[in-house]
Structure 1
Amino acid sequence: MTTPEHQPPTPDPASKDRVFRSPMGIVGGVALLAIVLWLGVDALVRGEGRTQWLALAALILIVPLVSAFTLRPAVYANEDRLRIRNPLRVIVLPWGQIASLRSGYSNEAVTKSGTKFQLWAVPVSLRARKKAARRSARAAAERSAAARGERGGRAGGGMGLGGLGFGAPRGDADADGPMRAETDKVMDDLRELLENRETAESAQGEVTVRWAYEVVGPAVAGAVLLVILLAMS
């Protein structure tokens, strides 16, 4: 009989998850939770009678929801599947079940059956897209000006704009193509994984959806308690 001390080591997974989250969502969630807890704890400590119960019910309701919509969302991707942890659900999508990854006003995974799942952890920022487009256009203009300067410098004995050091592309320019917003880059990476892995044998399987009862349960309990307290007033 093989003893635990002599068992062979468990092999590491074939591929580890890449995790994508929203930094701004986390920062906003921490700030909101700090405010809610400060107000709630203050009401619990200084309040009297029914005020303390109302504060407790509000905390039980609000804290899970704020955490769910700010700190909880994440997207986990490896070579076999895409796991989407949204505020109230966890969706596991084998790459073979995904028809497309769409980016519009929100980023979505669309299954071959036509079901859409939003990627809460990868929000679309129209402002970031516009900023990236402006930087890309500016970098293209600078490269064009540098090219004209180099041609002029060669024609004029090397004293064109390029020869004087003006019009050269700035360090933040992307010489390989247009600049992209960060969430669009994330979606590009996920699309590349989908393209490479959708036909792999290990990337097949069924779509699974699980409700986040650890969020729904406390929130419902807090809401019920709050309604009862308000009805008794």
Structure 2
Amino acid sequence: MTHDTGLVITGLAKRYGDAAVFQAVDLNVAPGEFVAIVGESGVGKSSLLNCMAALDTWSEGRITHDGVDLGQLTEAQAAHWRREHLGFVFQAFHVLPHLDVAQNVALPLLLLNRPDPARVAQMLDAVGLQGLGERLPSQLSGGQLQRVAIARALVHKPRLILADEPTGNLDPRTAAQVMDVLVAQARQHGSSMVLVTHSEAAAARADRVLHLTAQGLQEPPQQAVSAPNP
């Protein structure tokens, strides 16, 4: 049985031999809460996100999501948990080039054996891609491709959304539009969301901003994240 407790991380550490990727990470993300994680390059932000997704292992500590202990899942169980409960948005889009836009967005539903063309159309409309469902990824701009990736990540209404530098390849205006879509969809479905970013403007959209350092997750210095210019 699961409970709507959100994401809970306690004493998490990942090491390669004697070298720590990160350590002493504690984090609670309530259902519907949006947390941004910032930090220097190489400090382990993406590795931490991959652990949250049960895509990578960790050396010590515990991660639970809605009462499910991710560290206790077999590979098959972890894959099923990701299909059912997780939406992951990558910086590099990872849109499948041989599938059209609608087919890309439909993939999570097909993997769950829950095809729903109406839901796919709803998501395309939500991300501003209505009428583009039959286009191939090669016919889209970078901003449009990221919207496809967001629609695909959210089409199955996941309880947890993880986003790794989702605006990193985009110009500021397009980045702001992509964040509008991502935040609006997360809010609408009450999903917990963790964003890893170097963008001050993207981080400023979060309910909380945390700084990943060698000592774990901490409140950042006051000047580290500033609101975008109006």
Shorter-chain TM band: under 0.3
In terms of Rg, which structure is larger? 1
Richer in helix (by share) = 1
Richer in strand (by share) = 2
Q: TM-score, normalised by structure 1?
A: 0.22
User: Which of the pair has the greater relative contact order for Cα pairs under 8 Å at 6+ separation?
Assistant: 2
